[in-house]
Structure 1
Amino acid sequence: MRWSGHDQNEEADNMYNINRYLNLKEKLKELRTIALTGIAEAGSGHPGASFSAAEIMGCLYFQIMNNDIKNPSNPNRDYFINSKAHSAPGYYATLSLVGSFPKEEIKTLRKLNSRLQGHPVRFSEMQKHHSVPGIEYSGGSEGIGLSVSIGICLANKLDKRDNMVYCLLGDGETNEGQIWEASMAAAKFKLNNLIAILDRNKIQQDGFTEEIMPIDPIKEKWLSFNWEVVEINGHKIEQLIPELLKKPVDRPKIIIANTVKGNGIKHMANNPQWHGKAPSKKHLPLLIRELEGEYMISPSIIAGTDGIGEESLKQKIATAERYGADMIHLDVMDGKFVPNSTFFFDTIKKLRDGTRLPFDTHLMIQNPAKVLEQYIDAGCDVISVHAEACSNEQEFEKINTKLISSGVSPGLAVNPGTELPEWVFSYLDNLDVIIIMSVNPGFAGQKFIPEVLPKMKRAIPLLRERGFKGYFEADGGIDLSTIKQCFDAGCRIFVMGNAIFGNSDVEKRIRDTKFLLDSYLEKSLLDESQSLNLEEDWIKGRRNIIEQFNLAR
């Protein structure tokens, strides 16, 4: 089951699935692109803070909060208080994507008479044409947002409202004494309508937090102030969303979200220089291309020599998660649509509680519409059906509608010998992934069919031109010898079976795969910088990254 707002904790404890997971990932990528565009246009701003908090702000606005941007003064709304207000470009980008203002307005960031100044200004009905709908707090001075949040929480309790207040804190601002005074007050008043999120990127304005004013052991400190405390990876939305959904019972809650400053752009990542520095406007096309190069590795757990028994599958999932897989690929074969059979929804349901990694489920079955509900209930985050298994467009429309209404990312798969049906162009806004098979489905361990590459290179640009914003997934014979070609063609999700589980060192294979893709993207960016006559300038700014991949010229 999926959730779009806060619910009972007992139910949220069992919630691993995210409302249209791939669609949310795509929005987060767009959020970073919008923020970066505004900062480059302005020539100033804070990319580091915007990028470290992108998942936090995006998850709150795109899934968690009860917040209608068209009615920003609704007294029953959830509140977001952005105490680390220098993340304003990322905050503005988030608001633009929920309809607060046109995305193109980001180009007025920090300009004279713009609504989008360096620090956000609280929305006012009296001056609605000069302020941004949705902004609750005029940020700027560090350390005050938590106190403001407490005031709102107390007022809402007096008014007997059950809405939530979410407060985003910077780890540098926890040097402020008022943060700790406020934390004592929140615990005293047992504010179970308050969730703070600490963007723990370990960098503040002048350098690393632990060198300037150490705040560790930060978890123990908040526990000693009688808060409920959890610690997660703040860039993993599958970890973030369940914790945001769980309301505290009798005290305030803080989520320590471990993040990377500047995450998404390699030379900005974990680099104090990019706390408040704008990239050159001429580099923007290269930086956007880097953001668009984000990829996911989705190991297929039917691969390997140890079978597909439940315990074996659980072990492979645990291994893949431990060594950095982004998703888990579930190949469901019924022995009818394809010659072999694997497992079905009942097995998936048993596997679900073992991981929070998204389940990328590929239904290679006849009549998928008849059993769709069972796979949704089993906890699949992505469900792809075959074009060949849909008797007509109406059957696919029924499947697609059901998946979207259930919060599952819908996907469509096509066999190597199948061209995309013409009716797919009517569903581009309602598809999150298209799987272009590079083997004939039904057998593990097949070799990549090279004739599929021209098909990818033909179909992917066409679908992009027609407005498809989702992911392309390469499935079949993907290994270190074929993955670069598929990446170059435009695929960003890679199903790898024997290439991972047929290897004695799974950790090394996943690491080598990511290094290969990262180095290939870096070389592509370097080549593009040359075509734009920016090579010398680009190498100067990226020298450490380029040398890391042995690409120095």
Structure 2
Amino acid sequence: MKDMGLDLRYLELKRKIREVRMWAIQGIAEAGSGHPGASFSAAEIMGTLYFRRMRHDPKNPSWDERDYFINSKAHSAPGYYSTLAVAGYFPPEEIKTLRKLGSRLQGHPVRYSDHQKHHSVPGIEYSGGSEGIGLSVGVGIALASRLDGKKNRVYVMIGDGESNEGQIWEASMAAAKFKLDNLVAVLDRNRIQQDGFTEDIMPLDPTKNKWEAFNWQVFEVDGHRVEQLMDAFSRAALIKDKPVMIIANTVKGNGVRHMANSPQWHGKAPSKKHTPVLLEELESEFLIAPSIIAGEKENYEDKIKKAEREGVELIHLDVMDGRFVPNSTFLADTIKKLRPVTTLPFDAHLMIEKPIDHIDEYIDARCDIITVHAEACTEKEFAVIQERCLAAGISPGIAINPKTDVPKWLYPYLPDLDIVIVMSVNPGFAGQKFIPETLPKMVAVNKELREHGFKGYIEADGGIDATTLQPVYDAGARIFVAGSAVYGNSDIHSAVIHLRHKAAVTLEKRLLEHSTKLGIRADWMKARKNILIPYASELAIEEELNAIK
């Protein structure tokens, strides 16, 4: 029996979670009701469990050796259903029947069984609705599994609003008493409940101290960073004689900017006519990747830590051998030494000759993404490189220089390719000027790749700064490698914020254009007003915003 959930690569995991949000918002909009806020705050939690961590099998949901997931905050059902659908438990299109008469997907999940198969979907372990009960169920399953000598692990997701319920704390005492080290609870700490902010209604802080006082091992993470969640789940598996609580600090409605951190989106559906624009926003997720280039004398660890503090998504590592490009930098041994410094994914860009001869070194260095140059390998060699990366759970990528076309031999490998770097400078040196001619090429490459089954990310590398990010975004790139623009700035904090601002302005411009084509511009701007105000001048929409009541 295959251990499902342990084989999705980092970038593939990000894409799957994006799909979850997209299906969830379609279901909620079709239904005209539902809970987008909770579904979106918990998307990475559920996605990391189902697509990376838990043992489960959609083809055999009652597999005796499966891990259990209990969704105690059951109003997040749209996100839960979407996670199950993307994981393969039922067709995703069924999400559009959410809350409709006769649908299996009602407002709160129903535990699946043979006699309930017309009212539920496979994979659901717990009938939710009333808050505060799920942890007790998880304690019972964990205790029963241990008594039966089974190795199943039990994961329970609870909400911070439902933590007002006394039963949560009764269950936590029981879990500690029985030393249930096969039980992991995850608190979706989005700080909003039905009527407002949790700390105004019934303060939960100091949350970590409370769970520690109940004799739980506690880890605290950013609940939207899958690498932090993966690390926490791995550490949880090593804890003995204690249950584990993972406090996942999240943002309610994360993924749609005007829904984020807003109590009104706890249980409110968006307008159905907004759905296409919302889907574009979700598809337009972008990643910032500061570039560390070898040969520089600064402390690499310090650079990584500074970038981590600014919330960047990736660390881009420029590896040069002095032969494929004239410069030389660190190699796999240095990356391996840097790996314990951070949980941030390492995006290794190999500008080296014969990468086929060295690929195992970079796999062993625990890179999360490994990209090789099309100019440095044959089709046969790339096939081996991709196969080895996939087998190791690493995202494979390919890079093309400014004057290189996409090789036609690449087409069969595109469905499993996670990243294509379109170089916007000639590789080999830091601080080069952006080559404007690469913009139409990036548009053409993006179109060509999508037509042949590519689902991954276009990465722009070279000369990316606040002036070039916007046109590169419009050209289709969604990963932005910025070296000098970040580390060449004395204020890294401001540099990263400025890059994000430019990306946000570009996104808002594109969404406005989309809403205009759909004939809903005024309505979209009304829903989006608070988000648009900071960008009004750059978007030249001051008068339109002022006219909105």
Under TM normalisation by the shorter chain, which class is it? over 0.9
Alignment match, 1:13: none
Q: Is the 8 A contact 2:31 2:100 kept in 1?
A: yes
Alignment match, 2:291: 300
What is the correspondence of 1:187-206 to structure 2 with a 5 Å cutoff? 187-206=176-195
Alignment match, 2:410: 424
Please report how far the alpha carbon of residue 523 of structure 1 lies from its aligned counterpart in structure 2 after TM superposition: 2.0
Alignment match, 1:290: 281
Name which of structure 1's ranges 451-460 and 126-135 shifts more when overlaid on structure 2: 126-135
Question: How many positions carry a matched residue from both structures?
Answer: 535
Please report how far the alpha carbon of residue 139 of structure 1 lies from its aligned counterpart in structure 2 after TM superposition: 0.5
Pairing 1:488–2:480 present: no
SS state at 1:301 partner: strand
Write the letter of the residue equivalent to 2:327.
Answer: N
Alignment match, 1:517: 503
Alignment match, 2:459: 473
Aligned equivalent of 1:207, options 193, 196, 199: 196
Pairing 1:531–2:522 present: no
Please report how far the alpha carbon of residue 129 of structure 1 lies from its aligned counterpart in structure 2 after TM superposition: 4.3
Alignment match, 2:152: 163
Alignment match, 1:10: none
Distance between the aligned counterparts of 1:5 and 1:225, measured in 2? 31
Name which of structure 1's ranges 262-271 and 241-250 shifts more when overlaid on structure 2: 241-250
What is the correspondence of 1:123-522 to structure 2 with a 5 Å cutoff? 123-246=112-235, 247=237, 248-302=239-293, 308-309=296-297, 312-390=299-377, 392-522=378-508
Write the letter of the residue equivalent to 2:499.
Answer: T
Distance between the aligned counterparts of 2:483 and 2:4, measured in 1? 33
SS state at 2:82 partner: helix
Deviations 1:423-467 (A, max 9, x none): 211111110000001111112111111111111111112222332
Please report how far the alpha carbon of residue 337 of structure 1 lies from its aligned counterpart in structure 2 after TM superposition: 0.9
Deviations 1:458-495 (A, max 9, x none): 11122223321110000011111111111001100011
Distance between the aligned counterparts of 2:63 and 2:312, measured in 1? 41
What is the correspondence of 1:56-95 to structure 2 with a 5 Å cutoff? 56-95=45-84
SS state at 1:283 partner: helix
Deviations 1:214-247 (A, max 9, x none): 1111111111111111111000111101111232
Name which of structure 1's ranges 265-274 and 243-252 shifts more when overlaid on structure 2: 243-252
SS state at 2:533 partner: helix
SS state at 2:204 partner: coil
Distance between the aligned counterparts of 1:33 and 1:86, measured in 2? 17
Distance between the aligned counterparts of 2:119 and 2:129, measured in 1? 18
Distance between the aligned counterparts of 1:151 and 1:321, measured in 2? 39
Whose relative contact order is higher, 1 or 2, with alpha carbons under 8 Å and at least 6 apart?
1
What is the TM-score with the length of structure 2 in the denominator? 0.95
Distance between the aligned counterparts of 2:24 and 2:310, measured in 1? 31
Distance between the aligned counterparts of 1:354 and 1:384, measured in 2? 21
Q: Is the 8 A contact 1:4 1:19 kept in 2?
A: no
Q: Structure 1: which 5+ runs fail to align?
A: 7-17
Write the letter of the residue equivalent to 1:532.
Answer: L
What is the TM-score with the length of structure 1 in the denominator? 0.95
Please report how far the alpha carbon of residue 128 of structure 1 lies from its aligned counterpart in structure 2 after TM superposition: 3.0
Cα RMSD for the two superposed structures = 1.4
Distance between the aligned counterparts of 2:513 and 2:440, measured in 1? 23
Please report how far the alpha carbon of residue 19 of structure 1 lies from its aligned counterpart in structure 2 after TM superposition: 4.7
Deviations 1:332-351 (A, max 9, x none): 00011111111100111111
Deviations 1:410-430 (A, max 9, x none): 000001110000121111111
Write the letter of the residue equivalent to 1:316.
Answer: K
Write the letter of the residue equivalent to 2:300.
Answer: L
Q: Is the 8 A contact 2:5 2:56 kept in 1?
A: no
What is the correspondence of 1:23-38 to structure 2 with a 5 Å cutoff? 23-38=12-27
Please report how far the alpha carbon of residue 4 of structure 1 lies from its aligned counterpart in structure 2 after TM superposition: 7.3
Write the letter of the residue equivalent to 2:305.
Answer: A
Distance between the aligned counterparts of 1:258 and 1:192, measured in 2? 22
Please report how far the alpha carbon of residue 5 of structure 1 lies from its aligned counterpart in structure 2 after TM superposition: 7.0
Please report how far the alpha carbon of residue 292 of structure 1 lies from its aligned counterpart in structure 2 after TM superposition: 1.3
Q: Is the 8 A contact 1:369 1:399 kept in 2?
A: yes
Distance between the aligned counterparts of 1:164 and 1:525, measured in 2? 43
Deviations 1:3-59 (A, max 9, x none): 9779xxxxxxxxxxx951111111111110011111111111100000000000000
Distance between the aligned counterparts of 2:311 and 2:140, measured in 1? 41
Distance between the aligned counterparts of 1:176 and 1:434, measured in 2? 49
* Percent pairwise identity: 63
Distance between the aligned counterparts of 1:266 and 1:98, measured in 2? 26
Distance between the aligned counterparts of 1:389 and 1:210, measured in 2? 56
Please report how far the alpha carbon of residue 528 of structure 1 lies from its aligned counterpart in structure 2 after TM superposition: 2.0
Please report how far the alpha carbon of residue 269 of structure 1 lies from its aligned counterpart in structure 2 after TM superposition: 0.2
